[in-house]
Amino acid sequence: MALFYPFEMERYLETLLGERDPLLREMEEQALQETIPVVTPTVGNFLNLLVSMCKAQEILEIGTAIGYSTIWLARAAERTGGHVTTIDMNKARRARALVYFARAGIQNLITALEGDARKILPKLDSTFDFVFIDAAKGEYLEYLSLIYPLIAPGGLLVVDNVLFRGWVVPGSTFTPKYDRMVNGLRQFLDDLCQNPDFTTTVLPFGDGVSVSRRQNAKCDNRYSTQEPR
């Protein structure tokens, strides 16, 4: 896991979380062994806290992988009476996630859709009061425009990896093969932070997490001609 600030600090913050349940631990181990880029435990805990705080009912995640962050979200949904819809295009990972959901005993709280989020999102006909993006970093701008009409007024949008190893900060040095991704993330953050319909803050823990709240009042929508549903 690449981190924006010293690894030691993330480790320390992890110790403050206390004991995680054995299933989450097992998933962390699996992810580490197979280099599956799941959220850090501190980010998972943060997602759980946010869902609980805003009493989210309809939760959407883009990027299930093996379901680690989904379980953090769904455990909060259990308390709020909510439901999680999660999307991933990787069939094998989705299959593994389903097994973990069953083992966690929360499969009834989760709908796991398989396919490209860019194709699935336009077909969804519900609105969501909590959206978490953690999929292909180069596609974040596309997700944003597709998700925009799906976020309920007053809803939260949380996005992982927005500082991508700290390289999104101007003046950072990194190998040129990441140019496109880093520039895409800079553009994404600029768009998000300048959108008058969102109030956004970027938190420098994990790999950088943005949290945006969609305004209650209807504003000019730069992304879509559709009304919020």
List interacting residues with ligand SAM (CB under 6 A).
37-39, 63, 65, 68-69, 87-90, 93, 116-118, 134-136, 139
User: Smallest distance from the beta carbon of 171 to ligand SAM, in angstroms?
Assistant: 26
In terms of CB distance, is 141 or 219 closer to ligand SAM?
141
First-to-last C-alpha distance (Å) of the chain:
37
Rounded Cα–Cα distance for residues 225 and 222 (Å): 8
User: Smallest distance from the beta carbon of 215 to ligand SAM, in angstroms?
Assistant: 26
In terms of CB distance, is 90 or 215 closer to ligand SAM?
90
In terms of CB distance, is 117 or 189 closer to ligand SAM?
117
User: Smallest distance from the beta carbon of 112 to ligand SAM, in angstroms?
Assistant: 11
User: Smallest distance from the beta carbon of 84 to ligand SAM, in angstroms?
Assistant: 11
Give 5's DSSP letter. S
Rounded Cα–Cα distance for residues 216 and 154 (Å): 5
What are 75's two structure tokens?
């455990």
Rounded Cα–Cα distance for residues 133 and 161 (Å): 9
**C-alpha 158: how far from chain center:** 6
172: nearest Cα among 161, 158, 182, 159:
182
In terms of CB distance, is 63 or 82 closer to ligand SAM?
63
Neighbours of 112 (CB within 10 A): 19
User: Smallest distance from the beta carbon of 227 to ligand SAM, in angstroms?
Assistant: 25
In terms of CB distance, is 78 or 215 closer to ligand SAM?
78
